[in-house]
Structure 1
Amino acid sequence: MIVSITKIELNSYLKMIAFFKFNGQIIEQLKQSNCKKYKVIGSWNLKVWYTMTLWENENEINTFYRNGTHLEAMKQSGKFSSKIQSRRIQNEDFMSWKESKKLFANN
């Protein structure tokens, strides 16, 4: 199994509507995909967001990422964030948010 973790830092609070619009649509796309499970958490100030998804293999991740709303969100991501980072970890299940956030601590 593969855990995919993404950190998204919004450029400003004015970009939250665009982010939430895509985020809701991507969650709907996840529900229709082969994703085993997903979760999302925001920082206390709502400018930094983390997503975590669990997949059987790389092919399933890539099929999801390169299609539909997620593909469109990636194309337009520069409008609401200039700092998006992702990590993929081999693991049988989700890790804690605390552990996940450490993956981005040095960046």
Structure 2
Amino acid sequence: MILSVTKIELDSYSKLIAFFKFNSQIIKELQQSNCKKHKVTGSWNLKVWYTMTLWENENEIDAFYRNGTHLEAMKQSKKFSSKIQSQRIQKEDVLPWKEAKKMFGNY
């Protein structure tokens, strides 16, 4: 299994509504995809967001990321954030958030 963890730092609060719109559409598509598990959390100030998705293999991740709303979100990502980081690791289940955030030097 492959776990994908992404950190998105919004450039400003004015980007929050547009981010929420994309994020809610992506979550709906995740629920209809081959994604095994997913979760999202934000920071207390709502400017930093983390997503975590669990997939059977790299092909399933790439098929999802390169289609639909996620593809459109990636095309427009520079309008939301200049700081997007993502990592993929071999894992059989999702991580606790504290552990996942450590992947980006947090905590």
Short-chain TM bin: over 0.9
Post-superposition offset of 1:95: 1.0
Runs of 4+ with deviation above 2 angstroms: none
SS in 2 for 1:7: strand
Count of residues in correspondence between the two structures:
106
Once residues 94 and 37 of structure 2 are traced to their aligned partners in structure 1, the CA distance between those partners, rounded to angstroms, is 9
Unpaired segments ≥5 residues, structure 1: none
Q: Does 1:101 align with 2:101?
A: yes
SS in 2 for 1:74: helix
Give the aligned residue type for 1:78. K
What is the match of residue 51 of structure 1? 51
TM-score (norm 1): 0.97
Unpaired segments ≥5 residues, structure 2: none
Give the aligned residue type for 1:42. G
SS in 2 for 1:95: coil
Give the aligned residue type for 2:39. K
Once residues 8 and 44 of structure 2 are traced to their aligned partners in structure 1, the CA distance between those partners, rounded to angstroms, is 14
Per-residue CA distance 1:72-104 (angstroms, 9 max, x = gap) = 000001111111000001010011111110110
Once residues 35 and 44 of structure 2 are traced to their aligned partners in structure 1, the CA distance between those partners, rounded to angstroms, is 27
Once residues 57 and 86 of structure 1 are traced to their aligned partners in structure 2, the CA distance between those partners, rounded to angstroms, is 16
Once residues 11 and 42 of structure 1 are traced to their aligned partners in structure 2, the CA distance between those partners, rounded to angstroms, is 14
List aligned pairs for 1:2-41, cutoff 5 A.
Answer: 2-41=2-41
Give the aligned residue type for 1:54. L
TM-score (norm 2): 0.97
Once residues 94 and 21 of structure 1 are traced to their aligned partners in structure 2, the CA distance between those partners, rounded to angstroms, is 24
Once residues 17 and 81 of structure 1 are traced to their aligned partners in structure 2, the CA distance between those partners, rounded to angstroms, is 13
Q: Kindly, what percent of the aligned residue pairs are identical?
A: 79
Give the aligned residue type for 1:71. L
Once residues 96 and 37 of structure 1 are traced to their aligned partners in structure 2, the CA distance between those partners, rounded to angstroms, is 13
What is the match of residue 68 of structure 1? 68
SS in 1 for 2:39: strand
Give the aligned residue type for 1:64. F
Post-superposition offset of 1:32: 1.2
